[in-house]
Amino acid sequence: MSEDLRDAVKYEAKDGRAYITFCRDEKRNALTYEMFDRLMEHIERAERDDDVRVIVFRGEGRDFSTGHDLGQVGGAEYGFSKEPGARRPSQRARLHFDKRHVEQFRQILYCVKPTLSLVQGYCVGAGLYVVEASDLAIAAEDAKIGHPEQKMGLAGASYLTSWNILAMGPKKARELLLLGDVVDGIEAARMGLVNKAVPADRLAEAGEEWAERIVRLPRDAIAIGKAANHLALDSLGMTSQFVHGYVMHALGTNIRYESDEHNFMKERRNKGVTGAAHSREGRYGEEESGK
């Protein structure tokens, strides 16, 4: 892992809080797989620290996260080669890689410490998965939240489909995932994607208020409460979503595009990541971008 990517996810622990911050503002906090590995290291560090009672996820700069770095998706994550005659990645390579990655979202959901996400700007794709896997989330009212990456070939096969259905109901979950809409923080709170929305200039303050309320609780009470939550999630069958999540993603990255369909990977080759993202959204009548 290069040093700049290690530094793109920072850790600070103080006053009972562990702050994990995405620091790649020049790329709108797009998350590489190396950054996800670093994120997991920080979560494990916080879990081992008995002085930490709550973990706060936040993004430095304009956005929480525009999701997966689009330069690493669509075959690149599996070591796909553009060399003439190169074979496409095998299904086993896809499944092995996706299983490991989806387990990272499971690790967030089943973290032994309470987690709180503070959302500003864009929070889409994998950035939103982090929020969905958190215990609590507060968004700025003008945040832009959704799963537009579903229009790249998944169309509803997200990593956290069970959570989406539980949080929003089957109809709204299908709407969000199938259509790939992006909503503001107020609508996200109404739908159940986040707990509440506040003015952007109050986001940090609102996060500190909730973090302080958690910090004041007894450590054992926090641990018991998290364990009870884990048992409840398992009783609802939530663990199984991490199995169908990686299987569906492996299939989704291997779909066949017909001549009249939008192929993001082909557009990325011809126009670059930004051009491909704008082309994708232009086809579906939207202006939002990111995964």
> So what's the pLDDT on residue 118?
99
- Model confidence pLDDT, tens digit, residues 30-64: 999 999 999 999 999 999 999 999 999 999 999 99
> So what's the pLDDT on residue 290?
44
| Rounded distance between C-alpha atoms, residue 102 and residue 95, angstroms | 10
One pLDDT digit (tens) per residue for the chain, 291 residues: 445 677 899 999 999 999 999 999 999 999 999 999 999 999 999 999 999 999 999 999 999 999 999 888 766 677 776 667 777 788 888 889 889 999 999 999 999 999 999 999 999 999 999 999 999 999 999 999 999 988 877 777 788 999 999 999 999 999 999 999 999 999 999 999 999 999 999 999 999 999 999 999 999 999 999 999 999 999 998 888 888 888 887 877 777 778 888 777 677 767 877 777 677 677 766 544 444
| Rounded distance between C-alpha atoms, residue 149 and residue 252, angstroms | 11
Q: What share of the chain is helix, strand, coil (3-state, %, to 5)?
A: 55, 15, 30
Can you tell me whether residue 87 is helix, strand or coil? coil
Q: Are strands 196-198 and 182-184 parallel, antiparallel or unpaired?
A: unpaired
> So what's the pLDDT on residue 99?
92
> So what's the pLDDT on residue 271?
80
> So what's the pLDDT on residue 191?
96
- Model confidence pLDDT, tens digit, residues 137-148: 999 999 999 999
Fold entry, domain 3-256: 2-enoyl-CoA Hydratase; Chain A, domain 1 (3.90.226)
CB-CB contact of 181 with 81 (8 Å): no
In sign, the C-alpha dihedral spanning 162, 33, 183, 58 is positive
CB-CB contact of 207 with 138 (8 Å): yes
> So what's the pLDDT on residue 122?
98
Look at residues 63, 82, 238, 59 and name the one whose alpha carbon lies nearest to residue 163: 238
- Model confidence pLDDT, tens digit, residues 193-221: 999 999 999 999 999 999 999 999 999 99
Q: Where are the domains of the chain?
A: 3-256
